[in-house]
Amino acid sequence: MTNAIEIENLRIDLPRSGFRKRVPVINDLNLCIEEGEAVGLVGESGSGKSMTTRAIMHLLPDGAQRSGSVRYRGQEIADFDRRTLALYRSRDLGVIFQDPRAHINPLWTIGDFLVEAVVANRQMLRAEATDRAIALLAQVGISNGSQRIQQYPHQLSGGLLQRVMIVSALMPSPAFILADEISTALDVTVQSEVMAILSELRQSNRLGMLFITHDLDLAAAVTDRLAIMYAGSIVEVGPSHEISTAPKHPYTAALMASRPSLTEVRRLQTVPGRPISAFEAGNGCVFASRCSFAAARCSVERPLARQEKDRSVACHFAADLAPAISVAASQ
């Protein structure tokens, strides 16, 4: 299969108050997503997940410096002219944001919100776009679509609005979906329903997806592969079921160990230390300061990602520590 998104040696530096130079927030990030594949990008807050999304959209903050490559179907996004970039954002990509109330104009009806982009881009006439919106609303479990499109955002619950956001992303028939923390504001029951709908629609339409979340279990349930991110770097990549059952990087194991148990009452484990940003990592392993397996080498030498079959792990001692890491993840 061909790659839909290819990120190679990506580094993003941003201006920061109190610093003379820009500081890195993404450092040497490499990730490929095939056509029709769902990849989960998992990590703590501040690890660089949302900035990766903005790099894919080519919507970096003012003052940002970017090096490396971000390609869509083999074409460098930074080389797109204005028209090509506009078509890429409006037709090829579908974006589902974390907080629907922050991204839907409260003065517009649901119908106006859903049809505006495809009508403005001349993909559909308004009547055709309205019919498509009603049909997609039915697919995501919202009945009486002809009535719903006349309502305003404040008249819908958070769960319904998140489904509206899914419809908005699917309206232009994109090839790729960016889903950024879309379940964070939802309760568990609604979260399950929304994710089931998104997963079914993605598979039926053969869409690629980058699913960004801090929830390792959720990502493993709805994606084909997982990419674990820490301090602006990818530390482990592999099939979702393998990483969620047999992690090979100490950070992945620490994330798994910090999950509450459904079968026993025990003290909740925490990852020692505090999360760090990419500019704090220094020359060594980004996780060295919090890793219980770290050696002197880890603080001075950045480990390269080592490929083993369909797994990639950035750890000097991944092979030697495999049994201990598996035990740590299950505690």
CA–CA dist 85, 260 (Å, integer):
43
pLDDT tens column, 135-155: 999 988 898 999 999 999 999
pLDDT tens column, 110-143: 999 999 989 998 889 999 999 999 999 998 889 8
**Which tokens go with 121?**
């881009």
DSSP assignment letter at 287: T
> Residue 327's pLDDT band (boundaries 50, 70, 90)?
low
pLDDT of 19 > 80? The answer is no
Q: Which domain holds residue 148?
A: 3-330
pLDDT of 99 > 90? The answer is no
Domain count, the chain: 1
pLDDT tens column, 156-201: 988 889 889 999 999 999 999 999 888 776 777 777 888 888 888 8
CB atoms within 10 A of CB 194: 23
pLDDT tens column, 199-242: 888 888 889 999 999 888 889 999 999 999 999 999 999 999 99
Looking at the chain, the whole-number percentage of residues with pLDDT higher than 90 is 57
Q: Mean pLDDT throughout 83-88?
A: 93
> What's the CATH number where 224 sits?
3.40.50.300
Please give the pLDDT value at position 226.
97
Please give the pLDDT value at position 325.
64
Please give the pLDDT value at position 174.
93
CA–CA dist 22, 277 (Å, integer):
13
User: 211 vs 85, 94, 155, CA distance in Å?
Assistant: 22, 12, 28
For residue 248, how far is the Cα from the chain centroid? Answer: 21
pLDDT tens column, 29-49: 999 999 999 999 999 888 999
Q: Which amino acid type is present at position 185? A: A
Q: Mean pLDDT throughout 259-275?
A: 81
> Closest Cα partner for 6 from 74, 79, 66, 59?
74
User: 285 vs 8, 49, 72, 271, 276, CA distance in Å?
Assistant: 19, 18, 29, 16, 12
What 3 state SS string does 153-192 have? HHHCCHHHHHHHHHHHHHCCCCCEEEEECCCCCCCHHHHH
> Residue 272's pLDDT band (boundaries 50, 70, 90)?
confident
Name the maximum alpha-carbon separation found in the chain.
Answer: 66
pTM for this prediction: 0.90
